[in-house]
Amino acid sequence: MGNIPKKIHYVWIGESPKSEFILKCIESWKKHLPDFEIKEWGNDSLLKIENRYAIEAYNNKKWAFVSDYIRLYALFHEGGIYLDTDVEITNKFDEFLNLDFFTCNEKHNNSCLPVTSAVMGAKKGNRIIKDILNIYDGLEFKINDKFDLTPNTVRITEYFKTTFNILPPYFPSTQIQLVENSIIFPSSHFCNSEINKNNYAIHHFMGSWLPDYDRRDKFSIFNKFVLTRFKIRRDTKNYGLKEKERILLKFKVSSKKVFALILRK
């Protein structure tokens, strides 16, 4: 059925510009994978995607959760390698292109999961990717005015538990053969660089998927006027307001904090 195509997919949804760090990561892709096509999936991507979860997440400016679906859609329909924008490539990927599917364990902050969603490779029409897509096809993002903020790594981990009996505890150095030609590599392959171990990519966990502002509502009057504190991650002025909300006034109390009075229509 051929190899995984030499195509990199990444998702950039929303209104914020790419940071200098992200641009440097993308440059590393071009340096080490010069013969790969790089495809950006942006806001217009949803025009051809009919998925309630992704569309609801987009309408509520929850960009990370839009990306959770689009990365799977891209790999299933076109094949290739998906990369988060804070992934730095350090070596060629040619030796993995004859596989049907690959990823690695995710090691971060002294914890380990059996999969990273930051680096995944798959052939077009891959069964594993299709199975995970099917999970999202049955989901709603907004339920009774509350958002389903379950990280994609949690959903994918559960899929591997039930489908392949991959159970905790998880160890970053483990290599797991899922089915023939589908492998979860040690975290040192695509997540963390370790001395004397093969490394091809580093995931920097920059949280580019996080909202630009961390919001905390302090109190409301008649559920119409809301005093809110925004903690600044990136000062883009994209406050991620909910539908039918607008800011009446705001004042900056420090370089990292903004208070705002919000009107709910």
- Tell me, yes or no, whether 142 and 250 share the same domain: no
Mutual angle of helices 63-78 and 127-137, in 10-degree steps: 140
Q: Does some domain include residue 2?
A: no
Residue that finishes a domain, picked among 203, 228, 246: 203
- Tell me, yes or no, whether 93 and 130 share the same domain: yes
Q: How confident is the model over 212-217, as a mean pLDDT?
A: 79
Return d(Cα 35, Cα 15) in angstroms, integer.
29
CATH number, position 109: 3.90.550
Q: Does some domain include residue 208?
A: no
Q: Are 233 and 212 in contact (CB under 8 A)?
A: yes
Return d(Cα 135, Cα 200) in angstroms, integer.
29
- Tell me, yes or no, whether 24 and 75 share the same domain: yes
**According to the 3-state scheme, what is the secondary structure of 42-99?**
CHHHHHHCCCHHHHHHHHCCCHHHHHHHHHHHHHHHHCEEEECCCEEECCCCHHHCCC
Return d(Cα 252, Cα 141) in angstroms, integer.
32
- Tell me, yes or no, whether 93 and 60 share the same domain: yes
Query: What is this structure's pTM?
Result: 0.80
Give the domain range for residue 237: 213-264
- Tell me, yes or no, whether 228 and 197 share the same domain: no
| pLDDT tens column, 44-92 | 988 889 899 999 999 988 888 999 999 999 999 999 999 999 999 999 9
Q: Does some domain include residue 85?
A: yes
- Tell me, yes or no, whether 16 and 145 share the same domain: yes
| pLDDT tens column, 135-167 | 999 899 998 888 998 989 999 999 999 999 999
With a cut of 60, say whether residue 22 has pLDDT above it. Answer: yes
Which comes out higher in pLDDT, residue 7 or 232? 7
Domain tally, the chain: 2
